[in-house]
């Protein structure tokens, strides 16, 4: 396995440097996708050595950032990609259990199942959103898993680039599970730690009502495809 680490970032100046330095300890190629940040993120990235940086001039969405990272990793000869959020929620050391999960050569997606989601700093929207997403991923024809919203994952490359995913924002991460399942690529889970900082310290771009509408639109599209797909030209 040649595995790259991909960190998509958008205005994550608070914890980004810490996350990158922890990820560098893994000794794997590290690509950071700056998705149009307008804070100090570009300055932070400029002073860190040992990473490759791809910049989007404007904010295109997390899905678009991940696709840019996948394409760059393939060009570097990588056949797997670990994705880690830049908000400090993940411990990069947990990449090893994800990698170990495919030691038998399976070409699957490995989702980091976040442990400790009942902690006092975990907002109710995150717990509700996880359950909501899990059900609709399954109803859309995707895998039955317990943490479909975790951004800590291992993806097979180049397969992840060729799944015809329409979503380009956070919804990318649920749609890719459904598309992969339809293409015969299974999804499995491995446990990872999770850290939710106290309110006011946590970096989040989650917009409850807007993201709920976007999620609903994505799942509606996938379910319609599942039901009527065989009858479409």
Write down all domains in the chain, each with its CATH number in brackets. Answer: 3-228 (3.90.550.10)
Q: Is the pLDDT of residue 199 over 70?
A: no
For 203-221, the three-class secondary structure string (H helix, E strand, C coil) is CCCCCHHHHHHHHHHHHHH
Rounded CA-CA distance 120/94 in Å is 22
**pLDDT by residue (tens digit) across 165-179?**
999 999 999 999 999
**pLDDT by residue (tens digit) across 118-131?**
555 556 456 666 78
Whole-number pLDDT of residue 166: 95
Q: Which two tokens stand for residue 211?
A: 């993201």
Confidence tier at 200 by pLDDT (50, 70, 90): low
**Beta strands of the chain (E only): which ranges?**
3-9, 30-35, 52-56, 80-83, 109-114, 153-156, 187-192
At 62, which helix (H) or strand (E)? helix 62-75
Confidence tier at 210 by pLDDT (50, 70, 90): confident
Q: Is the pLDDT of residue 197 over 70?
A: no
């Amino acid at each position: 396995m040649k595995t790259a680490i991909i960190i998509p970032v958008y205005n994550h100046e608070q914890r980004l440097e810490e996350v990158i330095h922890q990820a560098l300890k893994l000794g794997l190629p590290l690509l950071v996708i700056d998705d149009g940040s307008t804070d100090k993120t570009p300055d932070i990235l400029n002073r860190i050595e040992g990473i490759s940086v791809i910049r989007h001039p404007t904010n295109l969405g997390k899905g678009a950032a991940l696709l840019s990272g996948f394409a760059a990793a393939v060009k570097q000869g990588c056949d797997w990609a670990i994705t880690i959020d830049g908000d400090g929620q993940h411990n990069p050391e947990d990449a090893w259990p994800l990698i170990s999960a495919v030691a038998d050569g399976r070409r699957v997606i490995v989702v980091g199942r976040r442990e400790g989601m009942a902690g006092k700093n975990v907002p109710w929207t995150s717990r509700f959103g996880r359950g909501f997403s899990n059900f609709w991923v399954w109803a859309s024809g995707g895998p039955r898993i317990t943490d479909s919203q975790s951004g800590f994952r291992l993806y097979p490359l180049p397969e992840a680039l060729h799944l015809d995913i329409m979503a380009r924002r956070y919804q990318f991460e649920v749609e890719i599970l459904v598309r992969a399942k339809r293409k015969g690529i299974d999804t499995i889970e491995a446990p990872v730690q999770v850290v939710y900082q106290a309110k006011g310290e946590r970096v989040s771009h989650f917009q409850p009502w807007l993201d709920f509408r976007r999620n609903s639109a994505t799942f509606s599209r996938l379910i319609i495809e599942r039901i009527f797909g065989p009858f479409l030209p």
